[in-house]
Chain A
Amino acid sequence: MKLIFECGSDGQHLSLIPPCDVPEVMLKETREQPLELPQVCENELTRHYTALSKRVYGINDGFYPLGSCTMKYNPKINDDMAALPGFTAVHPLQPEATVQGCLEVLCKAEKYLCEITGMDAMTMQPAAGAHGEFTGMMLIKAYLRDRGDTGRTKIIIPDSAHGTNPASAVMAGFSVINVCSGPDGGVDLESLKAAVGPDTAGLMLTNPNTLGLFDRNILEITRIVHEAGGLCYYDGANLNAISGIVRPGDMGFDIVHLNLHKTFSTPHGGGGPGSGPVGCKEHLVCFLPGPITAEADGLYKQVMPAKSIGRVKAFNGNFLVVVRALTYILTLGRDGLPDASRHAVLHANYMMSRLKGTYDMPYDTFCMHEFVMSLDRLHRETGVSALDITKGLLDYGLHPPTMYFPTIVHEALLVEPTETESKAAIDEAVEVFLKLYETAKTDPGKLHNAPVTTPVRRLDEVGAARNPILKYEK
């Protein structure tokens, strides 16, 4: 389809801005480069973007089992609340007395999320999960510096971790030690014991991990790290399995980040904005990015923690995302949150159970909210890869699972159906998966060729990287 720059014609425009009602003033030096923005009328503009919207797959278009991403239904009431002018029209630098409602939102969200995670305080400033990881690593750095403990420079990360974990640790100036996973998918305790030492700053861990497994040795793991003098960081990417059921704080973690856009139902926006609040235990509170929100005598105010690492972002984080998450927490409440998690886990196990006679499950155990399949054998036998199966799913109108992650499983597909899918939707998806397996055996060429029903077919990614075209030129 056309780019917006190929639409409209010279001279077309919308009538948006009035004439100047004061004497005109202009800068002395003005730009010489042309500003060739699109020239379209309002009708053409809306048609262009409506056409684009039909080339997007949203939550409301169908099943969305993206492992590790928690693509649950995004309730509309959340969006309504985030659109209230009492929130959207507020300037971030208004006097405190005029923003009590905004501060109440931040304070309540902090309180509830601390209760859910078992933490003592939380900052809403980080804008995404990776941003939260960086913030958490900075807390560890500041804590160690403050104690004069400068020899602790290494962060331990399991090989099943998301790639952001090592990248975040390095941004905070740490080096990374990878530890391998044991045959049961959990952290290998012997490798962990061998990895810790006087240079250990901390551990980054997701639990349940990226294989969808709750590590049964979790208390032992955090104890080993603490005894070596390190801190434990909880990556909250997979909280949807355990929200309201078991708390990272009780597992021995000192710091946690959450993804409000996963567990707490806020929309992903096609890649953002999300929100990645970071909580911590008492001994780290004074290092949190500031300001944080506090309540005294019914009045809310913002305060800077005593030894704050500083800001990680301007203003108060992705505030409207927090409004949505708070709306969700208030709606579900103390019974609804654990109920949602239990159904997320039930649905994943049900789907895994229905597929495991056909697809290989590398870990023969119950899963939490997601499970990983390996298409290694299928690939060797038929030449059909995990990628081919995902492209086949597109032709059935389903969003594929996460592919080739975690990297420790060959030809991996990571499937997370979430609690908001109905049994009927899961059953239909299972039938498609089974049909595709059959197709791989009987007609592999069809899958190599897929998709054929989508707006475009497989795209040349190698060519795109080799000769980058990153903007439109006439």
Chain B
Amino acid sequence: MGTYVPTTPAEQDQMLAEIGISSVDELYANVPAGMTICDRLSLPEGISELAVRAAVTSMADKNKVFRTILRGAGAYNHFIPSVVRSITSREEFMTAYTPYQAEISQGILQAIFEYQTMICMLTGMDASNASVYDGATAAAEAVTMCRDRKRVKAFISSCSNPEVIQTVQTYCFGSDTELVIVPAKNGRTDAGALESMLGDDAACFYLQQPNYFGQMEDASGISAIVHAAGAKFIMGVNPIACAVMRTPFEYGADIAVGEGQPLGLSMSFGGPYLGFMTCVKSMIRRLPGRIAGQTTDADGARGFVLTLTAREQHIRREKASSNICSNQALCAFTAGVYMTAMGEKGMRQAALLCVSKAHYLAGCIRKELGWKLKYDGEFFHEFVTECPCPEKVLQVLEDNGILGGLPVDGGILWCVTEVVTKAELDRAVDIIKGGVLI
């Protein structure tokens, strides 16, 4: 068996003598008789590090790693600078606990403070928390922030990522909040329908920008509709797009959230990622989760602490604004290092490459394959095309090491990021042409 216990049998005897007992079993005296399972636990026998490495590596080897990825839909294959991996794998950050003991946790607290600052810069919003589990739970927590006695109905665009909608649905089932899904028109939110649906009891509307189909929504127009009904406007935004598109603040959002994975985190079969969460000044005390704030120490030196804790569960218990008692600290740290490494220049360039290459692929598919774009609105780095035989297309791409777009209602949702070269895009189109259309 493998073990990380350093205590030797001799030391164990010394400890037992100090306690005044003869066997560790005596310490389990409160466990009802006959309930122990140690002798019949149906688990494999422990193994050495060498053997465990082989066992787990063989599982990893059963996955297919694609050389070219043209799929997004909530998880994105972006470039991760070496310096990001190098810094974020330092064991101090990796192994520390939540920074309750501020005097010996300034590194984490300052890093979170810097992360909060950069997320505010990116979104244009007033305040950010230290992150939550992922973009979907950030959306769900944002909805919870808006509910009050009179406003008990939440609205969400059907053009949002389906996993986000499902997560918000679960949280709403918990809080007995009615969730209404607002229909789409031509791949974008039906603003007319939204306007007619919002009443006095509307707490908020959640809009994803760019939306699930890659389309840019008329967020300014929708913002006006939502605010005219007296509801809060929540935006779920892509952080790479934020480097170039109008900020949620400029669109008039009260709360802006999003999936932070594009900011330097690998796709990792879905996690760990982080949800970023920001709001306008007037809503800061309703923001859930951990927040780092600046203060001074006994000598007047600048320092950082977890702050506004009066909102939180360890103080408020059943009256807390949320049950969350952690953040995705290491992931938020990663996002902070990523934004620092990229800088304004790098992030704008990555966004430019995303939009340009996505349009290049869309053009090739239209011209070379003759498939139409399903929606005619402006898009960022994702778009839906029609496709006569999605299964066949995706299989032939897969056979050539390419993960094609995601099949979505009657078409394919493609995504292109800065890591895909023109040559790879041309090759993908050629493969489809050669493999399917001939």
A289 adjacent to chain B (CB < 8 Å): yes
Stretch among A88-96, A187-195, A277-285, A373-381 lining the B interface: A88-96
CB neighbours (8 Å) of A334 from chain B are 41-46
Contact B176 A173, beta carbon cutoff 8 Å: yes
B175 adjacent to chain A (CB < 8 Å): yes
A104 adjacent to chain B (CB < 8 Å): yes
Contact A55 B106, beta carbon cutoff 8 Å: yes
In angstroms, how far is the closest chain B Cβ from the Cβ of A15?
Answer: 9
B372 adjacent to chain A (CB < 8 Å): no
CB neighbours (8 Å) of A105 from chain B are 56, 59
**Interface 0/1 of B6-28, CB less than 8 Å to A:** 11000110111011100010111
Contact B318 A167, beta carbon cutoff 8 Å: yes
In angstroms, how far is the closest chain A Cβ from the Cβ of B414?
Answer: 13
Q: Could you show 6 A-B contacts with beta carbons less than 8 Å apart?
A: A13-B343, A37-B339, A84-B57, A84-B60, A310-B166, A313-B137
Q: Count of A residues near B, CB < 8 Å?
A: 194
CB neighbours (8 Å) of B196 from chain A are none
A95 to B296, CA, bound (A): 52
| Those of A1-15 within 8 Å (CB) of chain B | 1, 3-5, 13-14
A152 adjacent to chain B (CB < 8 Å): no
A408 adjacent to chain B (CB < 8 Å): no
Contact A58 B91, beta carbon cutoff 8 Å: yes
CB neighbours (8 Å) of B19 from chain A are 346, 349-350, 353, 366
Contact A46 B114, beta carbon cutoff 8 Å: no
- Nearest residue (CB) in A for B321 is A167
Stretch among A228-236, A265-273, A433-441 lining the B interface: A265-273
CB neighbours (8 Å) of B312 from chain A are 163
A409 adjacent to chain B (CB < 8 Å): no
| Those of A26-71 within 8 Å (CB) of chain B | 26-33, 35-40, 42, 45-46, 49-61, 64, 66, 69, 71
**Interface 0/1 of B42-74, CB less than 8 Å to A:** 111111010011011101111111100101011
In angstroms, how far is the closest chain A Cβ from the Cβ of B209?
Answer: 11
A309 adjacent to chain B (CB < 8 Å): yes
How many residue pairs at the A-B interface have CB separations less than 8 Å?
664
**Interface 0/1 of A348-376, CB less than 8 Å to B:** 01100110000000000010100000000
- Nearest residue (CB) in A for B379 is A27
In angstroms, how far is the closest chain A Cβ from the Cβ of B66?
Answer: 7
B188 adjacent to chain A (CB < 8 Å): no
Contact A31 B250, beta carbon cutoff 8 Å: yes
Most chain A beta carbons < 10 A, residue from B57, B216, B294, B357: B294
A69 to B325, CA, bound (A): 12
A18 to B357, CA, bound (A): 13
Most chain A beta carbons < 10 A, residue from B97, B291, B329, B380: B97
Contact A23 B96, beta carbon cutoff 8 Å: no
Contact B101 A84, beta carbon cutoff 8 Å: no
- Nearest residue (CB) in B for A169 is B318
User: Which of B30, B134, B291, B315 is the one whose CB lies under 8 Å from A216?
Assistant: B30
Contact B163 A49, beta carbon cutoff 8 Å: no
A34 to B79, CA, bound (A): 23
A297 adjacent to chain B (CB < 8 Å): no
User: Which of B134, B175, B403 is the one whose CB lies under 8 Å from A94?
Assistant: B403
In angstroms, how far is the closest chain B Cβ from the Cβ of A186?
Answer: 9
B158 adjacent to chain A (CB < 8 Å): no
CB neighbours (8 Å) of B352 from chain A are 20, 24, 26
**Interface 0/1 of B86-120, CB less than 8 Å to A:** 11011111111111011111111011011011101
